Amino acid sequence: MIVITTFDLDEYVFAALRAGAAGFLLKDAQPEVLIDAIHAVAHGYGLIAPEVTGRLIREFAAVSPNPDTAKALDALSARERDVLLLIAQGNSNAQIASQLFLEESTVKTHVSSILAKLNLNSRVQAVILAYEAGLVTPGTRPAGRSD
């Protein structure tokens, strides 16, 4: 689901993402951005309007880990936690497979399992949960990445 709105308000962004949206765009988004968002969401990724992304990151940086959310991660195996961490760091399934020496189909299975165990609808929700649980923090880069 992609939310397209005229309201550039943080509470709408958070509510939409928590409700399962994998994309959040402002109504004045260029047509190419909308097409990119549709493709991204169709492939299991997320896309958030650049105008919103900076605020979203700052908000998550200011939030301390939620103990209840962190406890939810106990349902994951060690390998699933590794996959979730790499998802939250912005890696694609192919990149995760390469880093963990797995087949991409195995990574997809892990992603499906993570979403099911944590009762999530999308990778975007998984990233939010990883930040809320303190598994990752804004401003940290994974080793070996220079982008």
pTM over 0.75: no
pLDDT, tens only, 35-79: 888 888 888 777 787 777 777 766 766 655 566 667 888 999 999
Residue 113 burial (C-beta neighbours within 10 Å; 0-12, 13-18, 19+): middle
CB within 8 A of 27, min separation 6: which ones?
A: 4, 5, 6
Rounded (10°) CA dihedral 135, 138, 139, 141:
40
Task: Tell me the fold of 67-132.
Answer: Arc Repressor Mutant, subunit A (1.10.10)
Q: What is the pLDDT of residue 30?
A: 85
Residue extents of the structural domains in the chain: 2-62, 67-132
Q: What is the pLDDT of residue 94?
A: 93
